[in-house]
Amino acid sequence: MNTGRSIKIQLARHDRSVQWLADQLGLTRPHVSTLIGQRHCSGKVLERLPEIFDMSVSEFVAEGEEETKSA
């Protein structure tokens, strides 16, 4: 699972900023930037991210994996 890659893809797809996501998650922009650089995140954040981008957890996780496979 590459959560950071999934976040990057969804931010680009929805034309949203890291600050916007930080506001949605109740985190700081630097914290979200750190998440984007990581492959994994906490369960709480992982539960919220698909909600924010209006998709299922499996769809969200698959986004990062598909990108990894095609790279």
Please report, for the chain, the start and end positions of each structural domain, with discontinuous segments joined by +.
3-70
What does the pLDDT look like over 23-41, one tens digit per residue? Answer: 999 999 999 999 999 988 8
Give the Å distances, CA to CA, from 51 to 21, 47, 59.
12, 7, 11
Q: Please state the pTM of the whole predicted model.
A: 0.85
Average pLDDT over residues 1-19: 95
- 3-70 adopts what CATH topology? 434 Repressor (Amino-terminal Domain) (1.10.260)
d(CA 19, CA 16): 8
